[in-house]
Amino acid sequence: MYNLSDMATIRELLSKNGFRFSKSLGQNFLINPSVCPRMADAAFETCKGGVIEIGAGIGVLTCELAKRFFKVLSFEIDKTLLPVLSETLSDFGNIEIINEDVLKTDLNELINSKMAGMDVCVCANLPYYITSPVIMCLLESRLPLKSITVMVQKEAADRLCADVGSRNAGAVTAAVNYYATVEKLFPVSKGSFVPSPKVDSSVIRLVIRDKPPVCVDDETKFFRLVRAAFGQRRKTAANSISAGLSIPKNEVEKALSAAGFDLNIRAESFTLEDFSALYNNLNF
């Protein structure tokens, strides 16, 4: 078995296979040996069946997942990593590498065909350029997931883990909290990767809720309102919603008053319950 945290081993494997790091694919591979076991343990606490990894890299986290889970489906978009992975993962019979863009794959279909009857979760050191799209796609597709344990840039973790209704919150905070409970697990320094990125990271875990904390009749429409409210952060929610949804400002103000809010309120002050109250008073 390869020691995938050892720089000499990594260098030899990569040069033998003619691999070059791609910045645009977010290729920062983990070399800190304590991180992958902790991530895999955190995912396994919530689910014991199948796990989906996004971005296998050279397989350092994939191995730890394969030691714990019954079945591992691991996406890797870069076909130049496939010969590396077939070497590093050769000891395991429960891993399937999927050489596709995760954002262009029907994950519901994949889970139904490859992991039917299993509890399923996601565990990944995410390529940073698609952090929010991946998390939102996993949540909005209503996949039958127990949890999502991911490494993200520290700033993204701060935003995702902020309390809805607090200064650091954004549209993604509200969306994530609608579908899941969110916790920050542990920090990871930039020196834990090769090549080393410019910023530190954090591992966070989203445990999917059985049902959302507020009830809305049309989720797509509800999140249009949330996104519009955060669209122009320096403006009041009334101005931002009016511009974002093309509704006259006086109508937005009427809905704010009817729901009991100050007309100068800003989006970051809204809790999910507040957004739901406003949504129910606004015609759009």
**Cα torsion at 88, 186, 53, 113 (round to 10°)?**
140
Give least dist CB 137 to ligand SAM, A. 11
Which pair of tokens denotes residue 172? Answer: 């993604």
Q: Is the dihedral of CA 130, 131, 135, 138 positive or negative?
A: positive
Give least dist CB 57 to ligand SAM, A. 3
Which pair of tokens denotes residue 218? Answer: 């049309």
Give least dist CB 178 to ligand SAM, A. 24
- In the bound state with ligand SAM, the residue whose beta carbon lies nearer, of 23 and 142, is 23
Give least dist CB 117 to ligand SAM, A. 25
Cα three-residue angle 223-111-150, rounded to 5 degrees: 60
Give least dist CB 136 to ligand SAM, A. 14
Whether the Cβ atoms of residue 198 and residue 257 lie closer than 8 Å to each other: no
**Which residue's Cβ lies closest to ligand SAM?**
55
- In the bound state with ligand SAM, the residue whose beta carbon lies nearer, of 91 and 163, is 91
- In the bound state with ligand SAM, the residue whose beta carbon lies nearer, of 134 and 278, is 134
Q: Quote the CA–CA distance of 204 and 161 in Å, as a whole number.
A: 8
Give least dist CB 151 to ligand SAM, A. 7
- In the bound state with ligand SAM, the residue whose beta carbon lies nearer, of 64 and 253, is 64
- In the bound state with ligand SAM, the residue whose beta carbon lies nearer, of 54 and 73, is 54
- In the bound state with ligand SAM, the residue whose beta carbon lies nearer, of 59 and 165, is 59
Cα 63 off chain centre by = 21
- In the bound state with ligand SAM, the residue whose beta carbon lies nearer, of 194 and 245, is 194
- In the bound state with ligand SAM, the residue whose beta carbon lies nearer, of 73 and 162, is 73
- Which residues lie near ligand SAM (CB under 6 A)? 25-30, 54-57, 60-61, 75-78, 101-103, 125, 127, 130
Give least dist CB 31 to ligand SAM, A. 8
Give least dist CB 37 to ligand SAM, A. 12
